[in-house]
Amino acid sequence: MVPKSFKLNNGLEIPSIGFGTWQAAPGQVEAAVETALKAGYRLIDCAYCYGNEAEVGAGLKKAFESGIKREEVFVTGKVWCTYMSRVEENLDMTLKDLGLQYLDLYLVHWPVAYNPNGNHEKFPMLPDNSARDVDWSQTHIDTWHSMERLLETGKVKSIGVCNYSKKYLDQLLPVAKVIPAVNQIENHPLLPQTEVVEECKKHGILVEAYSPCGLGVELGEGWEWETVKKKKKGYMFTNSNLGPRKNTDVRKAETPLLPNTYK
């Protein structure tokens, strides 16, 4: 049986299944979030980079007005790459758009900083357009220390990382004052990421799997491969339920992509 929640290394509980808002179509997010919460979801995953936090906030507001309590909902946000040296500023932007006083979990979205004064607010490129304009003066370790200080403000209850491989964890953990509560990574049967999962387990870091059913746009017909299909005790595990089942069996919270059930 899939547990309803997992205990983080700081003692707080995180729901085992979350509602993701990445790649959600503009104008649909508010209704989706409201519907998800009324249907029983209690983890809402969002990020500044997604560009829809104001809509997420509107959905949260309607859900709270319907009687759902703020303390019943676990909300995750992420600091973006162009704000790695301005972590609290980015957090304040997220809180304002969401209409919240605090986040339950705040993550470093990627372990790389982009030029905060580049030619694009979120995705700056080099002048010759050959690659992202990376800010090499700002390390993810510097950013993590800023994240640690956020805990003293009361604006976040937990901090963690996102898209961290074992390499980046090995750089961070020896100097971290606070061990990340979560490492959110893409994880499913076609991308098991065993090495980083084991590293997180060793240090008491919960792995939160995003796209646990796979990224359909990229995987295409891969989910029809016979090696992915499983049959057990008369039940066929399809592409939509094999991923989540596999992940929760190894103690992972999950955040599937935004579903279309609200349409």
What pLDDT digit, counting tens, does each position of 57-97 carry? 999 999 999 999 999 999 999 999 999 999 999 999 999 99
Of 256, 247, 79, the residue nearest 237 (C-alpha):
247
pLDDT tens-digit profile of 132-143? Answer: 999 999 999 999
Query: Taking all residues of the chain, what is their mean pLDDT, rounded to a whole number?
Result: 86
Q: What is the pLDDT of residue 65?
A: 98
Task: Find the range with the poorest average confidence among 37-51, 184-198, 233-247.
Answer: 233-247
pLDDT in tens, 186-195: 887 877 788 9
CATH superfamily of 10-239: NADP-dependent oxidoreductase domain (3.20.20.100)
What confidence score (pLDDT) does residue 18 get? 93
> 120 pLDDT exceeds 50?
yes
240 vs 37, which has greater pLDDT? Answer: 37
Residue 51 is predicted with a pLDDT of 95
Average pLDDT on 42-58 reads 97
pLDDT at 219 over 80: no
- 26 burial (CB, 10 Å; 0-12 / 13-18 / 19+) is exposed
Lowest mean pLDDT among 22-31, 73-82, 115-124: 22-31
| Average pLDDT of the segment spanning 101-117 | 98
Torsion of CA 114, 118, 124, 130, to 10 degrees: -100
Judge whether 109 is annotated as a binding position: yes
Active-site residues, by number, are 50
pLDDT band at 100 (very low <50, low <70, confident <90, very high): very high
One-letter amino acid at 10 equals N
C-alpha dihedral (125, 90, 104, 65), degrees to nearest 10: -110
